[in-house]
Amino acid sequence: QQQVKQSPQSLIVQKGGISIINCAYENTAFDYFPWYQQFPGKGPALLIAIRPDVSEKKEGRFTISFNKSAKQFSLHIMDSQPGDSATYFCAAIEEYNFNKFYFGSGTKLNVKP
């Protein structure tokens, strides 16, 4: 059973548009929610992360929105650029459980010029 459900599986956005990726979870023990970005041939790298006591976190063009009651969180990429084309993974962590990470299935983003 997948602990973190991610959608969509793939996303095509025009340059300058907004990319939105959604994730949902059930386990209320999760207490940290990072997003990872992966380019072809590379390992995933931390992009931005949020804790459940905050509803939104913004870093540059990247924003996480967090809805604790709905157990959902999303990544918004404003002014999407071709260089943002990558696979994005959401994750949820049980920090009490030796930081066990649960990853979503990934979203392949293609930003067209």
By CB under 8 A, name the binding residues for another protein: 32, 34, 36, 41-46, 49, 89, 93, 95, 98-106
Nearer to another protein, 39 or 79 (CB): 39
113, 84, 65, 89 alpha-carbon torsion, rounded to 10°: 130
What is the 8-class DSSP label of residue 83? G
Residue 67, both tokens: 């809805």
Nearer to another protein, 22 or 102 (CB): 102
For 6, 22, 103, 108, 109, the CA distances from 10, given in Å and listed in that order, are 10, 12, 16, 5, 6
Nearer to another protein, 61 or 103 (CB): 103
For 35, 43, 60, 78, 108, the CA distances from 63, given in Å and listed in that order, are 10, 22, 8, 8, 18
- Name the minimum Å distance from CB 19 to another protein: 19
- Name the minimum Å distance from CB 17 to another protein: 25
- Name the minimum Å distance from CB 25 to another protein: 15
- Name the minimum Å distance from CB 60 to another protein: 18
Nearer to another protein, 45 or 78 (CB): 45
